[in-house]
Chain A
Amino acid sequence: MSAQYTATAKALHWGIAVLIFGMLGLGFYMTGLSLSPTKLQLYSWHKWAGVTLFLLVVLRLAWRFAHRPPALPRHMAPIERFAAHAGHHLLYVLMFAIPLTGWLMSSAKGFQTVWFGVVPIPDLLDKDKALGDLLQTVHLSLNFALIAVLLGHVGAALKHHFIDKDDVLTRMLPHRLH
């Protein structure tokens, strides 16, 4: 029983997971659209969700520091332990950096982020087209990196479940599912 994640950690993990997959899909879809009211609306939603995601990640990091997660299974080799820790660190860094670059890119491009159209997020950067384009490239590249790390993350979870047959996947599942 002690090997389970806390209910809060699980809720944050799955909530953020759903948001990240939705945001990846939305992000790649909306950037390909030609300018229309729909496009502007999707961009606004993307930015609102990005701010929300960032706050959830901050909450999650705070929870993570205050609550030690269950230990890795004993059967794991040192290289596997290293890969697991490195992967999780990378995920946290990317979940933190991607919304930040999105917000900075918006500022540099001259489009302020107003959370849900109500709460204005200050612009840290002044309007600067070249910087905006650079940040767009950074935002996109970080997302490609995120996709790569996520593939590793999901792949590793499935390997633990189906090949190693340990509890690494199930201890993150909602209580009634296992």
Chain B
Amino acid sequence: MKRIALALLSTLALATVAHAAEYNQVQADKSRIAFSYQQMGVSMDGSFKNFSSQLRFDPAAPEAAAAAIEVELASIDTGSDEGDEEAAAKTWFNTKDFPQARFESTAVKALGGNRYEVAGKLTIKGTTRDVVVPATFAQQGDAGVFDGSLTIKRGDFSVGEGAWKAFDIVANDVEIKFHITATAR
């Protein structure tokens, strides 16, 4: 009887701990989505000011984790006004018809240590592709911080059409970097 009670208690305690450690409240002001690419051999940086994300992640049960991120493409900051306008135009993101880019996880795999692999579907400009995103997790105070990057080919999503289609000026590879901070409820 005593044994069973103990077992029950410890299960309950574990469940409480596990629950307490589920990070699911994204702190928008401490999160960032940026990108970089090469333009005639010059490394260029930019970011997206507005995006929303939902995630739940419990370090004790990473396989049950899930994430969804929606980026407002018109909030792009390329570093210049004419760059921002061009990026919103039909040849690039065509934000009028496709205002958001979306990532939705399908599976999370723990690679050991603080490293994880998040498989999911990335949708940009009406094209959806399977991607695998390497990510790390770190606990900082009562918050969980997720960092990672993914290199995509802009040509796969028809980002940069017409005169921009060639990759000699603006490279095909675009690295997307994210830094997401979430607290447990």
Chain A residues, CB < 8 A from B170:
37, 40
Query: By the criterion CB–CB under 8 Å, are B166 and A37 in contact?
Result: yes
Query: By the criterion CB–CB under 8 Å, are A111 and B42 in contact?
Result: yes
Q: How far is the CA of A114 from the CA of B43 in the complex (A)?
A: 9
Chain B window 72-95, contacts with chain A (Cβ cutoff 8 Å), 1 for yes, 0 for no: 000000011011011000000000
Query: By the criterion CB–CB under 8 Å, are A114 and B41 in contact?
Result: yes
* Size bracket, chain B contacts: 10 to 19
Chain A residues, CB < 8 A from B43:
112
CB distance from A41 to the nearest CB of B (A): 6
CB distance from A115 to the nearest CB of B (A): 9
Is A36 part of the contact surface with B, judged by Cβ < 8 Å?
yes
Is A25 part of the contact surface with B, judged by Cβ < 8 Å?
no
Query: By the criterion CB–CB under 8 Å, are B166 and A111 in contact?
Result: no
Partner of B42, one of A35, A38, A117, A127: A117
Is A44 part of the contact surface with B, judged by Cβ < 8 Å?
yes
Partner of A35, one of B40, B41, B45, B83: B83
Query: By the criterion CB–CB under 8 Å, are A117 and B40 in contact?
Result: yes
Chain B residues, CB < 8 A from A112:
42-43
CB distance from A80 to the nearest CB of B (A): 47
Query: By the criterion CB–CB under 8 Å, are A35 and B166 in contact?
Result: no
Query: By the criterion CB–CB under 8 Å, are B39 and A40 in contact?
Result: yes
In the complex where A109-B80, A110-B79 touch, is A37 in contact with B163 (Cβ < 8 A)?
A: yes
Q: Could you tell me the dominant secondary structure of chain A's interface residues?
A: loop
Is A118 part of the contact surface with B, judged by Cβ < 8 Å?
yes
Partner of B45, one of A34, A36, A38, A110: A110
CB distance from A74 to the nearest CB of B (A): 53
Q: Could you tell me the dominant secondary structure of chain B's interface residues?
A: mixed
Chain B residues, CB < 8 A from A40:
39-40, 169-170
CB distance from A3 to the nearest CB of B (A): 46
Chain A residues, CB < 8 A from B166:
37
CB distance from B174 to the nearest CB of A (A): 16
Partner of B40, one of A34, A44, A110, A127: A44
CB nearest neighbor in B for A48: B40
Is B61 part of the contact surface with A, judged by Cβ < 8 Å?
no
Chain B window 22-47, contacts with chain A (Cβ cutoff 8 Å), 1 for yes, 0 for no: 00000000000000000111111100
CB nearest neighbor in A for B87: A35
Chain B residues, CB < 8 A from A111:
42, 44, 79
Select the residue from A36, A37, A44, A109 with max chain B CB neighbours within 10 A: A37
Q: How far is the CA of A36 from the CA of B39 in the complex (A)?
A: 12
Chain A residues, CB < 8 A from B42:
44, 111-114, 117
Query: By the criterion CB–CB under 8 Å, are B79 and A35 in contact?
Result: no
CB distance from A162 to the nearest CB of B (A): 45
CB nearest neighbor in B for A36: B163
Interface residues of B in 117-168 (CB under 8 A from A): 163-164, 166, 168
Partner of B169, one of A34, A37, A109, A113: A37
CB distance from A77 to the nearest CB of B (A): 51
Which 5 A-B pairs rank lowest in CB-CB distance, beginning with the nearest? A117-B41, A110-B79, A37-B169, A44-B40, A35-B86
User: Can you show 14 pairs from A to B with CB atoms below 8 A apart?
Assistant: A35-B85, A37-B163, A37-B166, A40-B169, A41-B40, A44-B42, A109-B79, A109-B80, A110-B79, A110-B80, A113-B42, A117-B40, A117-B41, A118-B41
